[in-house]
Amino acid sequence: MILHVDMDAFYASIEERDEPSLKGKPVIVGGSADRRGVVAAANYAVREYGVHSAMPTKTALKLCPHAIVLKPRIGYYREISKTIREVFHSYSPLVEPLALDEAFIDVSGSIRLFGSASEIGKSIKQNIQEQVGLVASVGIAPNKFLAKLASDVDKPDGFCVVEENAVQEFLDPLPIKRVWGIGKATLAVFEKLRVRTIRQLRELPEQLLIDRFGKSGAQIWRLAKGIDNRNVIPDREAKSISHETTFASDVADLDVLIAKLLDQTEQVGRRLRRAGLKARTINIKARYDDFQTVTRSATASEPTDQTDIIWQFAKELLLSKLPDRPTCLRLLGMGVSNLDDTGQSQQLMFDREEQKRNKSIDSVADQIKNRFGDSALHRGLSDKKNQ
């Protein structure tokens, strides 16, 4: 069985924990409105006004003028995330982090030691509460897709188990938008077919979906039947490491997209270094508002784990390599592949000093952010052409 553990409103919950007077009030963690800031996290009180992550802070304050805006302390959040992951690893070595606030855990080999998957899930929730004073939602199911859906049931503080013999009972009533890969354009097609629930979706012929949507149609059909054969893969064993974000609403603001891509790049770089890996290929993935999905990649001359080098490739792919069309995205992601664990590279002599300098910068930056928070140090971003 697989667990999906998702911390509830992670950044905002930490701030509420540290300052109890914030509880019950609308709280936004993000950049300032007068500097084109973006919402990094929104607590449940402010979500009732329609505020969500990745929304410009200026827009969020129009929806909820009395919201309290707090500057993110990403380094601090990462330290708490590290403690939470130690809890995960105490139950299974098969932990696949998706972000600071969520991860998949395969507990199939842990049941003899710790009891059923349900008992493990409850124990993890309790340990997180005791160690960091935060609430997690847990979904337990036979595969990653189902576990992810289950963790969203009854949030916050959710706990849902989907047994193997009850998969369709769980899936059938859900709206089709809960299926990965179904966005606005796809929903419009299904609306014409009067298909609104997953049950109605799975009763369609697979070939019909393939004819309409190509390979993604077959994937949609399999997910509607609860079929997902992906394994939980720890970073150290992964063939690639990536992070992507599906926005609550489509994003056309290039500044927001650049900020999100940089955050993803920093997370991927940290995961590379934590796993003792280097990558040769950098990839980005962009899904447009009409559901066109585009991937672009670039290959470095030598494998690297340095955030600045990875970022130079990622930003170039975003700014220069996407199709010549309005950039309005519902999903943005980046990742690295062609991983190398040898720790060796064939650097030219005149490159060595710069490589050492970049490595030192990453190390020092990590230490500063861990101690003082992400806002204590910023990478130099000037204008859109040079970001």
- Residue 36 resides in a domain: yes
Q: In CATH, what number is assigned to the domain containing residue 98?
A: 3.30.70.270
Do residues 12 and 52 lie in contact, with contact meaning Cβ atoms separated by under 8 Å? Answer: no
**Residue at which a domain ends, from 163, 186, 209:** 163
Q: In whole angstroms, give the CA distance from residue 361 to residue 366.
A: 8
- Smallest CA-to-CA distance from 76 within 380, 375, 360 is with 375
Together in a domain, 190 and 257: no
Average the pLDDT over 57-83 and give the result. Answer: 91
pLDDT band at 98 (very low <50, low <70, confident <90, very high): confident
**The one catalytic residue among 102, 237, 244, 266:** 102
Average the pLDDT over 76-105 and give the result. Answer: 91
Do residues 51 and 43 lie in contact, with contact meaning Cβ atoms separated by under 8 Å? Answer: no
pLDDT at 183 over 90: no
Together in a domain, 61 and 83: no
What is the number of other CB atoms lying within 10 angstroms of the CB of residue 2? 27
Percent of the residues in the chain that have a pLDDT greater than 90, as a whole number: 54
Find residue 242's DSSP bridge partners: 335
Mean pLDDT of the chain: 86
Together in a domain, 145 and 83: yes
Q: In CATH, what number is assigned to the domain containing residue 68?
A: 3.40.1170.60
Q: Any catalytic annotation for residue 203? A: no
Residue 36 sits in which domain range? Answer: 10-73
Count of structural domains, the chain: 4
The maximal CA–CA distance of the chain, rounded, in angstroms, is 65
Together in a domain, 158 and 265: no
**Residue at which a domain ends, from 73, 104, 124:** 73
Q: In whole angstroms, give the CA distance from residue 126 to residue 148.
A: 20
Q: In whole angstroms, give the CA distance from residue 295 to residue 164.
A: 34
pLDDT at 110 over 50: yes
Together in a domain, 82 and 180: no
pLDDT in tens, 6-17: 999 999 999 999
- Residue 230 resides in a domain: no
Together in a domain, 219 and 116: no
Average the pLDDT over 109-124 and give the result. Answer: 94
pLDDT in tens, 339-380: 887 554 444 334 555 555 556 556 555 555 444 444 444 444
Tell me the whole-structure pTM to 2 decimals: 0.72
Q: Quote the pLDDT of residue 237.
A: 73
Together in a domain, 279 and 362: yes
Q: Quote the pLDDT of residue 291.
A: 77
Q: In CATH, what number is assigned to the domain containing residue 359?
A: 3.30.1490.100
- Residue 386 resides in a domain: no
pLDDT at 240 over 90: no
Average the pLDDT over 97-104 and give the result. Answer: 89
Together in a domain, 206 and 330: no
